[in-house]
Structures are given as C-alpha cells and as structure tokens.
Chain A
Amino acid sequence: MVDIKEYGQFETAWCPGCGNHQIIQAVKRALAEEGLRPRQVLMVSGIGQAAKSPHYLRANVFNGLHGRALPAATGARLANPGLKVLIESGDGCSYGEGGNHFLAGIRRNIDVTYIVHDNQIYGLTKGQASPTTEFGFVTKAQPQGVFNTPFNPVAAAVGLRCGFVARGFSGDVDHLAGLIRAGMAHRGFALIDVLQPCVSFNKVNTFAWYKKRVQPLGPEYDPADWAVALQTAHEWGDRIPLGVIYRDETRVPLEDRIPALASGSLIGRPVNQTVLAEIMREYE
C-alpha cells in the first residue's frame, strides 16, 4: 500500500457540492490501496468536467480530445503494457461523442479501467442532454424535453459481454474505491459507471434522488451469472443496483494476444536488422 499523499491534493475547477470531488477521492484511494505509485499510473481523459480529473492527482496524464479518451488509452496500453491505464471521463464524452469507441473497446477487451462520471448531463457545456439523460428532461437544447430513450451503459456493456461491469455512486466513496480496485484487478476492459450528481445542471437526479434509490448488491449476488447480470443491469427505477454487476475472468485481454507484445513493451526496442533485410529481400 502506497501513501495516498503521493497522489497529492489539488484545488479543482468544479462546483462546490459536485459529485466529482468524491470520485477523485475514491480513485486516489483505490490507487494507493492497490499499491500503485504515481509513475506507474497513466490517467487518460477526454474533455468535460469529469475529464479534468487527471489534473487533480499526481500521475502521468493524457488529457486528450472530447470523446476520444478510449482510443488514446488503447494506443498507450499497447505501447506500454507496464502502465496501469485508467480513464476518467463524462457520460457525454464516453457514450455520446465516444460511443463508437465504447462499443469497440469492449469488443477489443483492452486492459483499461474506464471510470465514467455519469451525471446524466453535459456539464461543461452548460447542461444539454447527454445519452444518459432521462426521457422528458428539459434543457435549453431540449425545450420540449428529451425525446430519446436513455442509454443504459451498464446494460449495454453486459449485453456486449464486457468482462467487468460495475455501477458506483459518488456518494459512497468506500464502496466506489472498492469497485475501482476490483476494476483495476480485472485483466481486461473494466467499466465503472459512476452515478454523480451535478448540482448546477441536473436538478432531477440529485444526490437525494440517487441516495433514495441506490442499493449495493449483497454478497449473495453472483456477478458471474450473465443472465442474472443482464437482468440486474436493466434495473433502473425505484431501485438502482450498485456493485460489480457482471464479471467474466475468462476473457483474454487484447495485450495477451498480440505476438509483438509477448516480450513486453515495445518502447526502445531496436529494429532487428536481420529481419528487416529479410523483409526487403521479399521484394527481389
């Protein structure tokens, strides 16, 4: 276990009362408890309020483009499988602009822990609907209310047989830190969708609203049972289950399948001149 102080303490640009404050706390705690030092960690994000997270802890940081955290993280992981790669970004970034990468990343099963700050809104751009915004929710961009069916990321991920799917709540840091640790321990793509109140733009799904509904899954719950997981994942109403909803430890992460990575990171590996010359000779 590493001292959490190594991860520092930073002033943030978030609103007071925002759920992001707790999430970053949980992330730091999980990293320290896993015994990871900042230099071993790469935090990747896109753009949005959530995506500022990597600036609020000490680690290697790749704060890329809106919606594109996952491909960047994929490239980084493939480059250096020695790095622990975490992604933190918003629901808009991850399921809106980045929706195609979400689908592909799960299929690719790259070993990253993807923490989505799901405030069901586009926070940084001042409150337009995100894919997870509830039906009927009124915003300046949706003055008649949202017409779209909300996206249930947990259900989608389980449906795609993502090897690790969890739902957390920013209001329960202990529980969340545990989920993040479990996600990091999982070898392969791990999704942790974190319910996060946005005090400025989401006046519907407030802290109280979540608090009333979230309910951690008990020890009797078996996340290995896919059919049950699928059903649990679709639960969203008076009860919203929290915890590891689905876990399949048998899936092989992409990194393990790529021959070039069998002997570890490619960084600094010199060009094999013999092989290169052989390749050139194929063109004779």
Chain B
Amino acid sequence: MALLELRGLTKQFGGLVAVDHVDFDVNEGEILGLIGPNGAGKTTIFNMITGIYPPTEGEIFFRGERIAHPSLTWKERLATPLWWVSWLPVSAIKKRWDGMRTLRPHEITERGIARTFQTIRLFKNLTVLENVMAGLHHRTRAGVWGAIARPPSQQQEEAYIVAEAEKYLAFMGLSDYRDELAKNLPYGHQRRLEIARALAAEPSLLILDEPAAGLNEQETLELMDTIRQIRDSGITILLIEHDMKVVMGICERIVVLDYGKKIAEGTPEEVQNNPRVIEAYLGEEEV
C-alpha cells in the first residue's frame, strides 16, 4: 500500500475544472515531483491533500485512511441520522462521524502531512524560533490548567518544545537568526524557515510547493541537498517545482499535469523525453 493515494481526484471552481480525475500514488520514502504548466492544477491538488478545500469528486487515502472526499451537501447531511447526533459528546458517535465528514487542515497535519505554501506564509511578526515552535503545537498537550498551574510536566514540555525547535533550526542552518522577526529574513531564508516549521510538525509526508522559487542557482543547489537529507531521514516528499534542475536532479518519479489532467508519469528520463510533456511544458530544447 502506498503512503498517499489519489483516486479520481477532481476539483471544480464554478465552470472551471482545475483538477480532472487525477490518480497517482506516493510511495513511502520517495521524492515525487509534480509538474505541469502554470494553472495546471498542482497547487489545487496540494490544497485538497491538506484539507484546505474538499474535492468535488474522488478521494485521497493516507496510510489507507480516507482523508479527503467530497463534503456532504446540506441535503445529504439532513438525510444522515449520524449528522443529527454528531454534536453529542459520545466518542463512539464522534468516531463514526469523523469517518464521514471532511477533515480539517489541522487534523490532517496531526495525521502526519505537513506543507509549505507557494506564496510564503510565515508568521511574519513572530521570531524565527516561535515560527518553528508552531510546528510542535500538535505534538504537545498542555492546556489552560497546565498553563496556569504550571506543573513540572508542563515545564518539561516547554523545554522540550524549545529544544526541538532549535534542532530543526540548526538542521536548516537558521540558528543564527533564532530571535529575528521572520519578516526581516531574506527571501531565501524565509523559504528555509517554512521548511523548518513544517519539519517540526514531524510529518511522514512533506509537501513542498515551489521551494526553489526565488532562490538563485547557488541557493537552489543547497536546497536540493537539504531535500535529499530530509528524505534520507525517513520523510517522504511530494514536491511542485518549475526549476527542472531541481526536479530532474532529486525526484525519483514525476507526475505531469496539464489542464487538470495527468498526462504523464514516470522517471525523470521518461518524462523528459515524453513528447506531450515537451510540447505542453518543457519546450523544444532542454533548459
């Protein structure tokens, strides 16, 4: 069983079919590239995987669990007995209802999928360290009482959060900027910080949306190394990128989309030589 499975995934915006019956799998431990012309529907797929919006059709499975499917219409909800009692604080009901409703983004993160955004979305006015600490939120527990009473367990947890966050900062080479406000970092560092924050959520699948955009070639090379390292630490990676050097350099497999449809899938070599891909995306000569 693949780690992530997309089955007949479709998304419509009004009359526009942005993603059109797409199927593919992401296998444990691989780096999979998702490419395609601008507006092909790549980011939309990411948004469906991470629960930002539900698909119009189709399903997504993560470790065999269904994490996305079309949300129930009001009519269907009214016709579902479970919906009527879903607010009851009974765990049996809750469990069954959870299987029917669409999951919210934070629940998907809890299941082990973390992402970065195409347009950077850091907490601009918080420090670099605080940004990374956000990733640890769902892995820790302290609540209201813990905060006020501050038992030793909660103090330990706080120390753990900071230590972990620092670990990821160091990994992404950002330790020097620990107490800077995120918005004051240069663009390239902001990209890295986004990755550090996502890593802090300890995902088993990391989703990167154009991580190399805005980086110069030198920085891009460094990023490629980093991504490989992340994969080597056991995290599966799904990646959108327009920089062919990156895609061809690190991906084991590539899926190509055009106008919402999957037009090719295979190793970098296969994809590179696929005439449809060349016509729609790469252009005649190699970049």
Partners in one complex: no
Q: Which residues of B contact A (CB under 8 A)?
A: none
